[in-house]
Amino acid sequence: MRDAPINISGIKVGVRPADFEHVRAAIARLPGTEITAAEPAAGRLAVVQERPTLDEQARGLRRMQAIPGVYYAELVCHYQEPEEI
């Protein structure tokens, strides 16, 4: 039995290339995030975010969108593990 439900999101992030390293570092500091792919020349990051609730998932996505230099941060997939009975 686990302590909390699991919500996992895949997020695509578009970044101004001049701000790439700053954005990558800022996202890496966010709780529950992992950068799984990075293309600095193209200004793209693939991020996996794991949070216990949908509200926390949404807050994490909004934090990414608010980082200076981010053009977009869009949810591309989401998985919620069902609660055990």
Q: How would CATH label the architecture of 7-80?
A: 2-Layer Sandwich (3.30)
In tens, the pLDDT along 52-62 reads: 888 999 999 99
In tens, the pLDDT along 22-53 reads: 999 999 999 999 999 999 999 999 999 999 88
Q: How many Å apart are CA 21 and CA 23, to the nearest integer?
A: 5
Domain parsing of the chain, residue ranges: 7-80
What is the enclosing helix (H) or strand (E) of 12? strand 7-15
